[in-house]
Amino acid sequence: MKLRFRGAVPSGNTGVCLRSRRDLQKRIVGCADGPASFNAASFRKGQRVTSIDPLYQWTKEQIQNRINETFDQVIKQTRDNREKFLWDVISSPDELGSVRMAAVQEFLADYDDGRNCGRYVAAELPHIPFAADAFDIALSSHFLFLYSDNLSLEFHRKAIDEMCRVAREARIFPLLNYNAELSPYLDPLVRNLESTGHTVSIDRVPYEFQRGGNQMLRVVKNG
């Protein structure tokens, strides 16, 4: 079972892509959400978010077991690369581990009910199994751009096109790869999106954990 644990990232921070309370009332799809707490936290507040990830084909127990198997290694990698992160709100890799596992447990507690009512859908970018304009906002947090070494420019192009197909607006955060470097795909993707009539902006967000990782790509589709 593949599991992109994203252990160097506090789970649930997908919300930094949302700019206002009005955004939270919109129809939102989170793409490659993984074992994050954003969906569960939103549902508790009376807001419905749909999350897609291939992880959701697995049972809660299988996901928990995989997280347990990979957790120590992921935190070790974070500790070995701690200079690439800002340790102000979260003070250390050990505290990050505690925050991350608390968020994972929140996700797991919500997972079975959420999957049964369609909030967690087993699907994988660049395919989103919903009709055109089914959502107002499509979000990708710590997936696109983060894995630029593993996922091609063409994959990113297709994924963003699909996000724009199912939603009026796509938001992707952050713009960095796993080495906290600006993704080389950003400029060609922006040029392609603008050439097809989309409105594209790079917006600052009030959150930074990866050094320099405080910007998101915002794409409003043509028409």
| 22 pLDDT higher than 60 | yes
Tell me the pLDDT of the chain averaged across its residues: 91
Residue owning tokens 């939270």: 24
Query: Average pLDDT, stretch 103-125?
Result: 97
What are the Cα distances from residue 157, in Å, to 51, 151, 162?
Answer: 20, 11, 9
CATH of the domain at 198: 3.40.50.150
Residue 4 lies inside a defined structural domain of this protein:
no
Lowest mean pLDDT among 14-18, 104-108, 198-202: 14-18
pLDDT over 50 (residue 211): yes
138 domain residue, yes or no: yes
pTM, entire model: 0.91
Give the total number of structural domains in the chain. 1
Comparing CA positions, the residue from 184, 183, 188, 193 lying closest to residue 163 is: 193
Contact between residue 37 and residue 119 where contact means Cβ atoms under 8 Å apart: no
Residue bearing the bigger pLDDT, 119 or 70 = 119
Domain that holds residue 203: 13-220
Say if 37 falls within a structural domain: yes
Give Cβ neighbours of residue 68 (< 8 Å, ≥ 6 apart). Answer: none
Give 33 or 8, the one with higher predicted confidence.
33
Task: Write the pLDDT tens digit of every residue in 60-104.
Answer: 999 999 999 998 988 898 899 999 999 998 999 999 999 999 999
In order of 6, 165, 185, 219, the CA distances from 177 in angstroms are 12, 25, 10, 19
As a whole-number percent, the residues of the chain with pLDDT over 70 amount to 91
The answer to whether position 8 is within a domain reads no
Strands 120-121, 135-141: pairing kind: unpaired
